[in-house]
Amino acid sequence: MPTSNSPTTSKTSKPAIISIRKQENNFQRAEVIKRNREKRTQHAQFLVEGVAQINIAVKHGWRVYAFIYADDRALSSWAEALLDSNIAEQHWELSADLLAALSDKDEPSELLAIIETRTLTPSAIQPKQDGLVVVFDRPSSPGNLGSSIRSAHAFGADGIIITGHAVDIYDPFVVRGSMGAIFGMPVSTAPSHTDVQAWVAAARAAGFNYKVVGSSSKSEEQLSQCALSGPTLLVLGNETVGMSRGYKEMCDTTVTIPIVGELSSINVSCAASILLYEVSRQRAADNRGAN
């Protein structure tokens, strides 16, 4: 299926009903895009499980290739309504055992979805006067990235840019960890920091003076001392080696999160949440002051 880069409208034709009673080609397709990055890229599809994730994907117009469910189990009104909406290309009817084999849960979800990927570049993120963009430099942990996407969405980021050799954004652990946030905001990818540099330059040329702020345990500036009320681009480095030299040179400033104890750093998803909260806190305080 072609990669989708924009929302779609509801279909009017009825989905094809496919009955699956053994681990044949369709089942194997669902199973392989769940575990294999190369196949997800090849098919431009990924497997989604969970009410919240599916609801947000549908709300934001992501194209549904197939809904998967067990035809020997009663379905909730929520699942029935989704099936009746005719937004999927196909409906796959499986036995309960086969559905359980695809599920990652102890108690399998009643409905799974195969959704078409979107390939976004940084240009998908629109600069704003109160803009907030989060950049992840070569993230390697799917769980950390998923949680960070969730935090970025919760604290009002306009989009995310992931650069370099990184985990697949459609890895099941990323999607699950984001709790559906990956569907509600632009999550873009780019080869290197130079693509981010170009985005910042274009934003500044358009009158949006983004400050590039990197997170570094070696910085002498405390997070709370950094003004974050204006347009801001936050950069978080790789879990092991931190930011690349290119990002360090690109940053207008770097900040450190004060911690105590014997460890010198914290989990990158925790760091992302703290940075994002501080941006939100400062902006809320500025708004209260203005009123």
Q: pTM score, two decimals?
A: 0.89
The structure tokens listed for 261 are 């104890």
Q: 154 and 262, same structural domain?
A: yes
Q: 91 and 145, same structural domain?
A: no
3-state secondary structure of 97: helix
Domain boundary pick from 71, 93, 116: 116
3-state secondary structure of 12: coil
| Environment class of 3 (CB within 10 Å of its CB; exposed 0-12, middle 13-18, buried 19+) | middle
The structure tokens listed for 282 are 């400062």
In a domain, 108, yes or no: yes
Q: 229 and 141, same structural domain?
A: yes
**CATH code for position 240:** 3.40.1280.10
Domain boundary pick from 116, 132, 153: 116
Assess contact for 143 and 168: CB atoms under 8 A: no
Q: 21 and 61, same structural domain?
A: yes
Q: 258 and 146, same structural domain?
A: yes
Nearest to 113 by CA among 49, 55, 173: 49
In a domain, 174, yes or no: yes
Q: 128 and 90, same structural domain?
A: no
Q: Where are the beta strands (DSSP E) in the chain?
A: 16-20, 45-49, 64-70, 88-94, 112-116, 132-137, 159-163, 187-190, 211-215, 232-236, 253-255
**CATH code for position 42:** 3.30.1330.30
Q: 77 and 200, same structural domain?
A: no
At residue 102, the pLDDT reads 92
At residue 267, the pLDDT reads 86
pLDDT of the chain along its 291 residues, tens only? 334 444 444 455 899 999 998 888 899 999 999 999 999 999 999 999 999 999 999 999 999 999 999 998 899 999 999 999 999 999 999 999 999 999 988 888 899 999 999 999 999 999 999 999 999 999 999 999 999 999 999 999 999 999 999 999 999 999 999 999 999 999 999 999 999 999 999 999 999 999 999 998 888 889 999 999 999 999 999 888 889 999 999 999 999 888 877 666 778 999 999 999 999 999 998 777 776
Q: Which residues pair with 91 in a beta bridge?
A: 17, 67
In a domain, 205, yes or no: yes
Q: How many domains does the chain have?
A: 2
The structure tokens listed for 55 are 């609801």
The span from the CA of 9 to the CA of 205, in Å, is 34
At residue 7, the pLDDT reads 41
At residue 162, the pLDDT reads 98
Q: 136 and 96, same structural domain?
A: no
3-state secondary structure of 222: strand
Supply the range of the domain harboring residue 62: 16-116
Domain boundary pick from 94, 116, 138: 116
Q: 156 and 72, same structural domain?
A: no
| Environment class of 41 (CB within 10 Å of its CB; exposed 0-12, middle 13-18, buried 19+) | middle
Q: 204 and 143, same structural domain?
A: yes
At residue 84, the pLDDT reads 95
